[in-house]
Structures are given as C-alpha cells and as structure tokens.
A = this chain, B = another copy of it.
C-alpha cells in the first residue's frame, strides 16, 4: 500500500529532517557558523558516514548548504532555511490562538 510516491515537497522534507534530535542539534551548531563533517560528527561520537547521511538529508530539505573545498566539506545554514515551515506553522498558529481566545466564551 501507500504507493503515493508523489515527490515530497521541500516542506515535507524539512519537517521530516527536523524530527531527528541529532539533526536539530546540527542546525543549532551551524547557527554559530559553518562546520565540516568531522566537526559536526565529533560531539556525537558518530561515524563520519553517519553524519554525512544527516547532512545529506538536511541539504535535501534545503535547510543546509554545503560546498566541498579540497578534501573538506564545509556545511552552513541555508539562507531562508525555515521560511517554508514557518509559514505553515504561522497559519496553524493563528487557529490555535483562536481556540485559546474563545475558550472562556461558553
């Protein structure tokens, strides 16, 4: 079942990427400036291969951009990274606030 291949949108990928705590930590780290795969992997005691896979997902979600310079891959927060999900959330957030506002009114 579920043959809904239907090319995931960037927002789909972004939400999926943010689900993992390791990847969120990577984003926080990149908030402080760019880093290499090795640098990102080190604090998690994770293999380079493992971190590389996380970074690839973050790239596909357009949350991170990378650039290979020499033998090193430099990773950085993508500009406008959170635009899509922020928009999605704001729309829903308006509804949640309406819920709150109308709570006393019964």
Residues of A bordering B, CB below 8 Å: 12, 15-16, 18-19, 21, 24, 27-28, 30-32, 76-82, 85-86, 88-89, 91-93, 95-97, 99-100, 103
Chain B positions within 8 Å of A100 at CB level? 79-80
Closest Cβ neighbor of A6 among chain B residues: B21
Do most interface residues of chain A lie in helix, strand or loop, or is the interface mixed? helix
Contact of A92 among B15, B77, B79, B96 (CB under 8 A): B77
Cα A8 to Cα B81 with chains together (Å): 25
Give 25 pairs: A residue, B residue, CB < 8 Å, sorted on A: A15-B15, A15-B18, A15-B24, A18-B18, A19-B19, A24-B88, A27-B92, A28-B92, A30-B95, A31-B92, A32-B95, A76-B99, A77-B92, A77-B96, A77-B99, A79-B96, A79-B97, A79-B100, A79-B103, A81-B93, A82-B89, A82-B93, A82-B96, A85-B89, A86-B93
